[in-house]
Chains A and B, each alone.
Chain A
Amino acid sequence: MNQPEDILKSLSLKPASARYQTKADELFGQPAIGSINLKPFWQWSMAAALLLSLTLNVVQFQLLEATPDQAESAVGQHEDAQKNPGGYSIVQSDESPDGLHQSITIIWENKS
């Protein structure tokens, strides 16, 4: 029989699943910022959001087009942001009526 150490070295562990990376991406990743190409309803929503952002003394405003996965990731970031002292965010996710955008995520971040 070969040396036990050599036998052990001939083995390998099961690799991590795809979920390992995906969940980490949710933890660390940023949702992709898509182009702004909105129907009137969404233009009104954006205007309302901008007004709200000014009211809340927001220094950073992002409009994101996101897939459901990206929206889920953004929700994760929202939860992280809530835990971050001195900052907060609001995430709103909806399906667009034209079906072009599966969801829209708007994040207000207060860094004051």
Chain B
Amino acid sequence: MRIKQLGPLFQKHQQRWYVCALAITKNRQLAEDAVHEALLAVAETPAEPDNLVAYVYRAVRNQALRLRQQSMRHQSTWTEVIDWQQADPALRHQQQTVLQLMSQLSEAEQQLLVMKAIGGLTFKEIALSSNQSINTVASRYRRAIEKLQESTP
């Protein structure tokens, strides 16, 4: 039964799946729900994926997109998903400025920056979730960083 395979995978990847979902939903509860629902969906699918981890990453992304779509009325900002208790108060002004500047980028670019720079996902993990090549993800990330630098005062 696949649910038995997913248990150990969850212990290993739970933080990364959560970050992946949070970067899309901008909401902690929705992100948690997205991961749980993705796991249930993967457990029930009759398909036999070659790479179960990659399959779950994509399922998490799909569930996060679906839940975000359902809750469009409750749009959150990046400021709301940041753990400010862990943030350096001396950098607070710069951090808030960068988060505001980030909102000028496309939604996909913002998600990429949050997953990589804040969430600490690797390019490979982001590539798994978005079904893109690692090179594509890396070049889009660099481009997003350049755009952010260009708009920085």
Q: What are the interface flags for A21-34 relative to B under an 8 Å C-beta threshold, 1 for contact and 0 otherwise?
A: 10110011100000
Do A7 and B94 touch (CB < 8 A)?
Answer: yes
Most buried by B among A4, A7, A27: A4
Do B145 and A5 touch (CB < 8 A)?
Answer: yes
From B3, B7, B36, B113, A8 is in contact (CB under 8 Å) with: B113
Do A13 and B22 touch (CB < 8 A)?
Answer: yes
Do B31 and A4 touch (CB < 8 A)?
Answer: no
User: Which residues from A are CB-within-8-Å of B47?
Assistant: none
Which stretch (B50-58, B62-70, B78-86) binds chain A?
A: B78-86
From A2, A13, A19, A29, B119 is in contact (CB under 8 Å) with: A13
User: Within the assembled complex, what's the spacing in Å between the Cα atoms of A9 and B95?
Assistant: 10
For residue B98, CB closer than 8 A to chain A, the reply is: yes
Do A24 and B95 touch (CB < 8 A)?
Answer: no
Q: Interface size for chain A: under 10, 10 to 19, 20 to 34, or 35 or more residues?
A: 20 to 34
Interface residues of B in 96-153 (CB under 8 A from A): 97-98, 101-102, 113-114, 117-119, 145, 148-149, 152-153
Q: Interface size for chain B: under 10, 10 to 19, 20 to 34, or 35 or more residues?
A: 35 or more
From B22, B82, B88, B97, A1 is in contact (CB under 8 Å) with: B97
Do A28 and B14 touch (CB < 8 A)?
Answer: no
Do A7 and B14 touch (CB < 8 A)?
Answer: no
Do B113 and A27 touch (CB < 8 A)?
Answer: no
For residue A94, CB closer than 8 A to chain B, the reply is: no
A10 to chain B, nearest CB (A): 6
Do B14 and A20 touch (CB < 8 A)?
Answer: yes
Do A23 and B98 touch (CB < 8 A)?
Answer: no
Tell me whether A1 and B94 are in contact in the complex, defined as CB-CB below 8 angstroms, given that A8-B117, A28-B3 are known contacts.
Answer: yes
From B6, B29, B82, B97, A13 is in contact (CB under 8 Å) with: B82
Tell me whether A7 and B91 are in contact in the complex, defined as CB-CB below 8 angstroms, given that A1-B97, A23-B32 are known contacts.
Answer: yes
Do B14 and A13 touch (CB < 8 A)?
Answer: no
For the complex with contacts A8-B117, A12-B86, 13 further pairs of A-B residues with Cβ separation under 8 Å are: A1-B97, A2-B94, A4-B98, A10-B87, A10-B95, A11-B83, A12-B87, A14-B82, A16-B31, A17-B32, A23-B32, A27-B7, A83-B44
